[in-house]
Amino acid sequence: MGEAGIDISSHRSKHLKGFLDPPVHTVITVCGNADRACPIFPGQANRHHWLFDDPAKATGNEEEILACFRRVRDEIRRVFEAYAAGLRDAKPTR
């Protein structure tokens, strides 16, 4: 992720309980089982499931595995940036 200018050194997994009180507008899942396993939140307006290859399951030599991680990282970035751009474009201007 550092190659892409994204610092994830302070990121950590978070328990679902931390998302029960604040309103959740959108849930996006990106791995196979998550679409079925993730809960529906009260008031949730949007739910999306975008399936990407799991780079942890990549096979081959070290460079081939790294190429898979990079490819999936870049695919996720493109999809999320396009989604965010659509949200920005849909907002009414004042």
Same domain, 35 and 46: yes
| Structural domains in the chain (count) | 2
Rounded mean pLDDT of the chain? 84
Q: Where is average pLDDT lowest: 17-21, 75-79, 87-91?
A: 87-91
**8 falls within a domain:** no
**83 falls within a domain:** yes
pLDDT of residue 19: 76
Round to whole Å and give the CA distance between 26 and 48.
8
Structure tokens at 86: 């659509």
pLDDT of residue 67: 97
Residue range 1-30, pLDDT digits in tens: 899 998 999 999 888 778 777 777 788 888
Q: Is 21 exposed, middle or buried (0-12, 13-18, 19+ CB in 10 A)?
A: exposed
pLDDT of residue 60: 97
Domain residue limits at 27: 23-52
**86 falls within a domain:** yes
Same domain, 43 and 61: no
